[in-house]
Amino acid sequence: MKTWIASLCILSLSRAVLSQTCVTPDGPCVFPFVFLGTTYNECTMDGSTQLWCATSVDSTTLNYETYSYCPSSCSNSTVLACQTVDGINCVFPFTFQVGAGNVTNSFGTCSSNCPSTSGNSTNVCNTSSGTPCVFPFIYKGLTFTSCTTMDSSFPWCATAVNANQQFENSYGYCNADCEVATT
């Protein structure tokens, strides 16, 4: 198994970040978000009888685009974003690719108050064609943090997922150095 653990994070291109602690049934909350001109850094009941948060925002205005109801574990707690030592918000999850034209090349060193693990796999793996695997990914309701042989004779991984980490029909066969989950 190849692993890469470092205290790096990709810097946010907007001021909004995915919450690592407040996750709704439709995905993580995005903070801050704007609703009717007010900026929120935590779940709110404004405009609703239940706590809710944005699950996506406009990258320029931070106006909420989609929302979901917050679980009770998110109430009464402001979600603090992980920041670099220079005070810039980090974006998780990310795939660090040197020289990739479509991936931001802006990164920084995480501050000491950031979680040391994000809950995502540190398994760094490429397909046999050199495309990076995307972990975690969800396939047929199961979450994978390494390559799998589910529905295949050869280990494979997702090479693209949607915002909810669902497999997007883009995959590749894992190279020999990749970790393979037992199914």
Do 5 and 17 belong together in one domain? Answer: yes
Task: Read off the CATH number of the domain in which 134 is found.
Answer: 2.10.10.10
The CB density around residue 55, as the number of other CB atoms within 10 Å, is: 23
Q: Is the Cβ–Cβ distance between 54 and 67 less than 8 Å?
A: yes
Does 13 share its domain with 54? yes
Same domain, residue pair 70 and 137: no
pLDDT, mean over the chain: 72
The domain total for the chain is 2
Q: Is the peptide bond before 71 cis (omega within 30 degrees of 0)?
A: no
| Band of pLDDT at residue 101, cut at 50, 70 and 90 | very low
Report the alpha-carbon distance of residue 145 to residue 132 in Å, rounded.
Answer: 13
Task: List, for residues 6-24, the tens digit of each pLDDT value.
Answer: 334 444 334 555 555 678 8
| Same domain, yes or no: 112 and 26 | yes
163/90 same-domain check: no
Evaluated on CA atoms 3, 8, 11, 12, the torsion sign reads: positive
Both 58 and 134 in one domain: the answer is: no
Q: Both 108 and 141 in a single domain?
A: no
Question: What's the predicted TM-score (pTM) here?
Answer: 0.37
* pLDDT tens by residue, 30-85: 878 889 888 887 888 888 888 888 888 888 888 999 999 988 777 543 444 566 77
Point out the domain boundary residue: 116, 145, 164: 116
Average pLDDT over residues 111-130: 60
Chain centroid, CA 134 distance in Å: 11
Range of the domain at 20: 1-116
Same structural domain, 72 and 128: no
29: tokens are 């909350």
Q: Residue 65: its pLDDT value, please? A: 93
